[in-house]
Amino acid sequence: MKLIKVGVACVNQTPFAWESNFAHLRTAIDHARAEGVTMLCLPELAITGYGCEDAFFMDGLQDTAFAQLDALAPLTKGMVVTVGLPVYHEKALYNAAALLADGKIVGFVAKQFLAGDGIHYEPRWFKAWPAAEVDVLERTAEDGTTRRYPIGDLVFDLGDVRIGFEICEDAWVANRPGTDLALRGVDIICNPSASHFAFQKFAVRQRFVIEGSRAFGVAYLYANLLGNEAGRVIYDGGGLIASGGELIARGRRLSFQEVELATAVIDIDGNRREQARRGSHRPRHDAEAQVIEHPFVWPSRKPEAPPQLERSWEDRASIKEEEFARAVALGLWDYLRKSRAQGYVVSLSGGADSAACATLVATAVHLAFQELGAGGVRQRLPWAKRLVEVLDRKGSPKDAVRALLACAYQPTENSGKVTRAAAETVATALGAEFHVIDVAAQHAAYVAGTEKTIGRPLTWDVDDLTLQNIQARVRAPSIWMLANVRGSILITTSNRSEAAVGYATMDGDTAGGLAPLGGIDKSFLRTWLVFMERKGIVGGEPIAALSAINAQQPTAELRPAQYAQTDEADLMPYDFLEAVEDSAIRDKHTPIEVLQEMIPRYPQQSPNQLAIWIERFFRLWCQNQWKRERMAPSFHLDDRNVDPRSWCRFPILSGGFERELAEMRAYVAMGKATR
């Protein structure tokens, strides 16, 4: 019985943050060694960070990455370690995994299938390595000598244990390399990954890891990045180890730690016997040129009881609500510490979006205290002066929220008592610092000045949009001032539904440096706020004060009270808006196709009413691409994102679907739109 203790480490990296990235990798190796691990898999591009963008082309970055690899190698005495980095070879750049063994660099495997859809742009920087090809990588050492390493589609034979690689996207394709690796007699497949968080995506990862281990007859090691690495993308960690079709270890997801290690003991001989029994297994004997032999002595090991696969918060039926809270909270926490800001500022309107933003910031603080303790929080934010003062006084997590979060209600003459009370109630419940900054005088001055300029009064009948927008815009200078005074990040509260139809005032409520809700729809946000009011996340308390938000209909509150303004009256029902958005933008359907899809889904509405709303959506979508181009960075949460810089591209100027909309109108007029 050949038993090997293996590990996967998920690390929280930052693009070309050399010292901290190296420290996390060293910590992972040290922790693995302390746990008795002999074989450790680290994530994709973990040395540089995955999100270096066009900086990958810098010679200095590539050279420094290799120097970091050289420095890591001696730390692997008595171990086998894999880690990702960019490798320049023959006038091309490759996304590669290095294999280190017993203190030496043994060779490199280059990624065969590059991620080039959605948020991924790997083909912009890297070349895909052809299957079955191998070559020699030459590097000039500091002493002038030339070092040579094998690179390509390789299998490593270390002490009669064969190791192969699928690098992230390689495992997501139909013709994944693992099939060929199994035929080449591989015992362990390592998958260094940078797989971003998305709702329900973790279950897919688990399936291909478990099925890969079964179908290929191997132990499968999956290591992912962790945290908000570069600004928009959140990695959820969740390292996985499977063997013989069974998941035997799983790391924590969405952790606030910088390193998360999962370990297990695998039975190499057991997997080999299982493969030998299969009549379908047809090993290849013609690929020896792709096998790199390197001496290594695996220590003898006794069987161990498999670790418990704890799920904690993932057991809940409300998994999406939990995932959203924890993913965005981690995104906000990392954004704060990596930007070295003093905290966050939210213009708290008394409505759902701003309340959700404030709640998420408070959730981030509470989760950080739960996982890291007061000492860990201070260690990661030593420059946050107000926070340090609170911690010096042995303050509570709620006191820390006040140090890191300031909220301001900014009324004009059209603001009501309900929203003001709701804003203050929520801020107080969360522990945030709360201010009222009355901008009615500034608003009146702008209106009067413009009336004098154009020589006529502004009226709601003629100048509705102008009078609404100036109220939103007049709030921006003072809330920016508060953020500047505090040295904090101003959060813009716009959600994805608003971004899709441009239902936001540019340079008004869109003012800010980060849009944590930009990737989520309004309907889900309202559901999530009710969840947080009545249940709260695992380990947290319900926030009863959110009832003041949840009792209201969403409203911009920019028209006088007699207009009884609501968002859905201005636009359409939010659930319908999201359904149209999915059909039109995600699924790329024409207006008629969208209508045909909506008619059976919304039988309570006439086809004519549905067509009116669908046309409104398409027109607003086309008119407002310029706004989406200017929105603050948002977090990517699923494949429904409308951010043109990370998911959904669309022309700023277009024909606006005029022909397609005319065809839909004619279709309805001719009576063809029936149930």
Measured from the Cβ of residue 124, the count of other Cβ atoms closer than 10 Å reads: 12
CATH superfamily placement of domain 324-549: HUPs (3.40.50.620)
- Distance between CA atoms of 516 and 491, rounded to whole angstroms? 8
Q: Is 540 exposed, middle or buried (0-12, 13-18, 19+ CB in 10 A)?
A: middle
- Indicate if the pLDDT at residue 111 is higher than 90: yes
Q: Is the pLDDT of residue 571 over 80?
A: yes
Average pLDDT estimate for 499-517: 95
Please tell me the predicted confidence (pLDDT) of residue 289. 66
Q: In what order do the strands lie in the sheet with 104-110?
A: 134-140, 146-152, 104-110, 92-101, 80-89, 39-41, 3-11, 259-267
**What is the per-residue pLDDT for 118?**
83
pLDDT at 659: 97
Please give the pLDDT value at position 287: 64
- The answer to whether the beta carbons of residues 300 and 265 sit under 8 Å apart is no
Check whether 252 has a pLDDT greater than 80. Answer: yes
Distance CA 341, CA 484 (A): 10
pLDDT of residue 560: 87
CB-facing half-sphere around the CA of 115: CA atoms within 13 A? 18
pLDDT over 90 at 276, yes or no: no
The identity of residue 332, as a single letter, is L
User: pLDDT for 174-219, tens place per residue?
Assistant: 999 999 999 999 999 999 999 999 999 999 999 999 999 999 999 9
- Residue-averaged pLDDT of the chain: 94
286, exposed or middle or buried, with CB in 10 Å at 0-12, 13-18, 19+? Answer: exposed
Q: Does domain 3-310 have CATH number 1.10.1040.10?
A: no
Rounded Cα gap, residues 59 and 70, in angstroms: 17
Nearest-angstrom CA–CA distance, 501 and 149 = 54
Q: Is there a contact between 57 and 125 (Cβ–Cβ < 8 Å)?
A: yes
What is the pLDDT, as a whole number, of residue 470? 95
Place of tokens 């695996």: 298
In contact, 523 and 568? CB cutoff 8 Å: no
- Please report the DSSP string for 16-28 in residue order: T-HHHHHHHHHHH
* pLDDT for 564: 84
Range scoring the smallest mean pLDDT among 228-232, 281-285, 496-500, 553-557: 281-285
The whole-angstrom separation of Cα 151 and Cα 221 is 21
d(CA 401, CA 509) in angstroms, rounded, equals 23
Q: Which amino acid is at 314?
A: E
Torsional class of 123: left (φ above 0), alpha (ψ -120 to 50), beta (otherwise):
alpha
pTM of the predicted model over 0.85: yes
Strand 219-223, strand 188-192: pairing: parallel
Q: Which tens digit of pLDDT belongs to each residue from 282-340?
A: 676 666 668 999 999 999 988 888 778 877 888 887 899 999 999 999 999 999 999 99
Residue 157 and residue 298: Cα distance in Å, rounded? 12
Q: Name the DSSP class of 80.
A: E
Residues 485-517, buried b or exposed e (16+ Cβ, 10 A)? Answer: ebebbbbbbbbbbbbbbbbbbbebbbbbbbbbb
pLDDT given at position 562: 85
Q: How many residues does the chain have?
A: 675
d(CA 303, CA 322): 36
- What DSSP string describes 577-605? HHHHHIIIIIS---HHHHHHHHHHH-TTS
Are both 3-310 and 324-549 of the same fold? no
Question: What is the pLDDT confidence band of residue 5, given thresholds at 50, 70 and 90?
Answer: very high
Residue ranges per domain, the chain?
Answer: 3-310, 324-549, 568-675
Tell me how far apart the alpha carbons of residues 245 and 271 are, in angstroms, rounded to a whole number: 10
The pLDDT score that the predictor gives to residue 481 is 98
CA distance 336 to 333: 5
Report residue 675's pLDDT band, with 50, 70 and 90 as the boundaries. low
As a whole-number percent, the residues of the chain with pLDDT over 70 amount to 98
Alpha carbons within 13 angstroms on the beta-carbon side of residue 289 total: 7
Query: Which tens digits make up the pLDDT trace of 526-562?
Result: 999 999 999 999 999 999 999 999 999 888 878 888 8
pLDDT tens across 16-31, in order?
A: 999 999 999 999 999 9
Among 221, 222, 214, 223, CA closest to 271: 214
Segment 48-55 shows an average pLDDT of: 97
556 Cβ neighbours under 8 A, 6+ residues apart: 468, 472, 503, 565, 567, 570
Given a cut of 90, is residue 107 above it in pLDDT?
yes
C-alpha dist (Å) from residue 518 to 117, 357, 359, 368, 414: 19, 11, 16, 23, 26
Phi, psi of 7 (to 5 degrees): -145, 155
AA identity, residue 443: H
Q: Cα–Cα–Cα angle for 366, 11, 239, nearest 5°? A: 95
Mean pLDDT in residue range 70-79: 98
What is the strand order of the sheet 246-250 is part of?
246-250, 240-243, 219-223, 188-192, 161-165, 155-158, 291-294
Amino acid at 624: N
Token pair for residue 526?
């309202």
CA 195 to chain centre: 9
Distance of CA 40 to CAs 34, 78, 85, 609, Å?
Answer: 12, 11, 16, 59
What is the C-alpha separation between 73 and 96, in angstroms, rounded?
16
Is the distance from CB of 400 to CB of 356 less than 8 angstroms? no
Share of the chain above pLDDT 90, in %: 88
DSSP 117-175: STT--HHHH--PPPTT-EEEEEEE-TTS-EEEEEEES-EEEETTEEEEE--GGGGGSTT
- pLDDT tens-digit map of 353-409: 999 999 999 999 999 999 999 999 999 999 999 999 999 999 999 999 999 999 999
Answer yes or no: is pLDDT of 168 > 80.
yes
